[in-house]
């Protein structure tokens, strides 16, 4: 990678400056530098992550959370969660969250992206975005023996074959994989034979961003190989704000002010500044630069340069809970690596020897379930009636969200993932399995804003408003129904070979809906998929978002946002592959515009 010294960086002339060397940032920067015509600089707050075991070895996933690779954000106390704060890990290193995430690689439904376009963002529907999904990835098909043994189903034409990120099916699976799918089939969830092709409804074995040649994480730093010496990366650089010059009553981004080892520096960009700091930091940097809601900026004592009321608003996140069952104690699972030193050492030796065994695999047993499968019809009608009475959304966005309650069999409202292991419940002589449940289309919408006394060193105020108000009641009711359905999955006869009994919550809880709701509120976490805080405004313009369909910030020339924050509505998928597609499309548009001027 082209990591340079502070002296080299500040004395370099740049065409483009990219704020954030994460998932989107490195992809954008590398594509802009790829043809050698432009000099590109990247400012990254963290250091390097390549070569670390807790980053590269699949079986060590999650071990980097809470380390120096993690921003370690927390939400404000959430009223409906009993005043709890919720951890929001985000990557703070080259590669960003792609260096610390759980290596899940999937796409949302066709309808998800078509909804973005329907809001007035041409070019962002499924058909136009698909080439950029493919451009980011190289798919390695499984061997015939693994495909047949695990009944792996996919549409080869849906995948890319020459992108920087290597994706693959595992070479070996947990013994629960096929039993889980049989349990799902038995409760009305069919197997999906083409989960990458625009509909992820059903049960399927997922691919991961793991390079099968080395069995290591494939992440955003791979993109750097596309560029030559014209890509310059500075790590441990904390961005203060975007430098905005006022010319003829209009603002233009001309550079970036940042701190490196306690000293302030300014670097300039002759063409554009691209903000790719993610859904949490991108709105913070815009507000520190004087772009945002005047009320928020006034409280912070920041001069209003661009009145942009939606900066930091529209925060959407996938809510997550997990149920735990006691399983056959003879089954190998991830808990063995935490609590049995001999097994952990043997697993590491096996991985080092031939890249196989427990450290070479991660959970891949997925399903996306539509409302019609788990919500009674009378409840659906009530939810739809509640949604029609909601306020706080534009009429167009509200109509699309209501439609998601009407498309009861077309899109996956809930995600269910099963994996062997549940380390927090470890108990001598017992083993456990976990069913994760993740709400895909939240009605609760929150915000991220700068502190009243702002500093680039301070975390922004993150308030997802979990389950607040009538919006949150819809989310809670859907989570209630999904929890009942989750119990049915776990207790399906097909799972009897390994499942012994419900452990968390206990079976007795299900006698009272209010008790189940209380358990949900006590258990809710997030899936680490925040989006929307610098969203595309579509036909609503600056009143409905922060950037236009070419990702240009309203009211400022020479400034774009290219990351997950531009997504106006959430999708039924883990967002990693979508963020790469956004970056690929964003880079393409920037290069198109550069060719015109």
| Residues contributing to the annotated binding site for FAD | 239
Which is the catalytic residue, given 166, 232, 471, 574?
A: 574
Conformational region of residue 387, where left means phi above 0, alpha means psi within -120 to 50, and beta covers everything else: alpha
Tell me how crowded residue 460 is: count the other CB atoms within 10 A of its CB: 21
Which is the catalytic residue, given 166, 471, 529, 570?
A: 529
Q: Is 466 a catalytic residue?
A: no
Main-chain dihedrals φ then ψ at residue 381, nearest 5 degrees: -65, -40
Q: Is 265 a catalytic residue?
A: no
Apex 338 CA angle, 334 and 340, nearest 5: 100
Q: Please classify residue 594 by burial: count the beta carbons closer than 10 Å to its beta carbon, then call 0-12 exposed, 13-18 middle and 19+ buried.
A: middle
Q: Tokens 């991108």, residue? A: 282
Apex 184 CA angle, 183 and 185, nearest 5: 90
Q: Is cis: bond before 397, omega within 30 of 0?
A: no
Binding region: 239
Tell me how crowded residue 42 is: count the other CB atoms within 10 A of its CB: 33
- What are the tokens at 342? 């001999």
Residues 89, 65 contacting (CB under 8 angstroms): yes
The Cα–Cα gap between 408 and 414 comes to 11
Strand partners, 191: 203
The Cα–Cα gap between 558 and 272 comes to 4
Strand partners, 502: 325
Q: Tokens 């009994």, residue? A: 501
- What are the tokens at 75? 């939400």
The Cα–Cα gap between 531 and 563 comes to 9
- What are the tokens at 455? 């500093």
Residues 181, 203 contacting (CB under 8 angstroms): yes
Name the residue among 461, 463, 448, 452 with its Cα closest to residue 565: 448
Residues 477, 379 contacting (CB under 8 angstroms): yes
Distance in angstroms between the alpha carbons of the first and the last residue of the chain: 30
The Cα–Cα gap between 395 and 582 comes to 25
- What are the tokens at 409? 């069999």
Residues 559, 272 contacting (CB under 8 angstroms): yes
DSSP string, 155-191: -GGGS-BSSSEEEE--SS--TTHHHHHHHHHHTT-PB
Write out the catalytic residue numbers: 529, 574
């Amino acid at each position: 990678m082209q990591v340079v010294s502070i002296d080299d960086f500040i004395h370099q002339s740049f065409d483009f400056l990219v704020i954030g060397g994460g998932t989107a940032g490195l992809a954008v920067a590398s594509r802009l530098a790829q043809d050698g015509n432009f000099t590109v600089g990247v400012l990254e707050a963290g250091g390097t992550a390549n070569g670390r075991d807790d980053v590269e070895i699949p079986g060590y996933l999650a071990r980097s959370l809470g380390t120096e690779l993690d921003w370690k954000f927390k939400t404000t106390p959430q009223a409906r969660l009993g005043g709890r704060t919720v951890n929001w890990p985000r990557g703070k290193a080259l590669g960003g969250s792609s260096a610390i995430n759980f290596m899940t690689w999937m796409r949302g439904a066709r309808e998800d992206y078509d909804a973005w376009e329907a809001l007035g963002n041409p070019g962002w529907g499924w058909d136009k975005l698909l080439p950029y999904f493919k451009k980011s990835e190289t798919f390695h098909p499984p061997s015939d023996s693994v495909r047949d043994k695990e009944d792996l189903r996919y549409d080869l034409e849906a995948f890319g074959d020459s992108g920087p990120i290597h994706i693959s099916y595992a070479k070996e699976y947990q013994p629960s994989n096929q039993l889980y799918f049989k349990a799902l089939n038995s409760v009305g969830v069919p197997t999906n034979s083409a989960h990458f092709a625009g509909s992820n409804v059903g049960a399927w074995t997922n691919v991961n961003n793991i390079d099968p040649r080395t069995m290591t994480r494939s992440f955003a730093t791979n993109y750097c190989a596309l560029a030559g010496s014209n890509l310059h990366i500075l790590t441990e650089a904390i961005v203060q704000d975007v430098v905005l010059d006022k010319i003829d009553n209009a603002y233009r981004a001309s550079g970036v002010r940042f701190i490196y080892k306690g000293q302030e520096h300014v670097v300039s960009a002759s063409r554009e500044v691209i903000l790719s700091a993610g859904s949490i930091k991108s709105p913070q940097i815009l507000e520190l630069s004087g772009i945002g809601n005047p009320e928020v900026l006034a409280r912070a004592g920041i001069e209003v340069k661009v009145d942009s009321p939606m900066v930091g608003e529209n925060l959407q996140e996938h809510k997550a809970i997990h149920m735990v069952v006691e399983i056959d104690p003879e089954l190998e699972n991830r808990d063995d690596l935490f609590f049995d030193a001999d097994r952990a050492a043997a697993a590491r030796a096996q991985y080092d020897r031939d890249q196989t065994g427990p450290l070479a695999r991660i959970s891949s047993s997925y399903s996306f379930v539509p409302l019609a499968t788990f919500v009674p019809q009378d409840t659906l009608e009530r939810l739809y009636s509640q949604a029609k009475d909601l306020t706080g959304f534009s009429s167009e966005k509200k109509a699309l969200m209501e439609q998601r309650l009407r498309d009861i069999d077309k899109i996956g409202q809930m995600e269910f993932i099963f994996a062997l292991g549940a380390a927090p419940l470890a108990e001598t002589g017992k083993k456990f399995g976990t069913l994760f449940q993740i709400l895909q289309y939240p009605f609760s919408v929150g915000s991220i804003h700068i502190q009243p006394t702002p500093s680039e060193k301070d975390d922004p105020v993150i308030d997802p408003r979990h389950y607040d108000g009538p919006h949150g009641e819809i989310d809670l009711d859907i989570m209630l129904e999904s929890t009942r359905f989750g119990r049915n999955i776990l207790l399906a006869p097909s799972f009897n070979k390994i499942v012994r009994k419900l452990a968390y919550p206990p079976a007795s809880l299900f006698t009272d809906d209010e008790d189940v709701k209380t358990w949900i509120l006590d258990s809710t976490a997030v899936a680490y998929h925040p989006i929307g805080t610098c969203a595309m405004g579509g036909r609503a313009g600056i009143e409905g978002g922060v950037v236009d369909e070419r990702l240009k910030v309203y009211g400022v020339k020479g400034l774009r946002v290219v990351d997950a924050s531009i997504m106006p509505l959430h999708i039924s998928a883990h967002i990693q592959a979508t963020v790469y597609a956004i970056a690929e499309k964003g880079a393409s548009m920037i290069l198109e515009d550069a060719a015109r001027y």
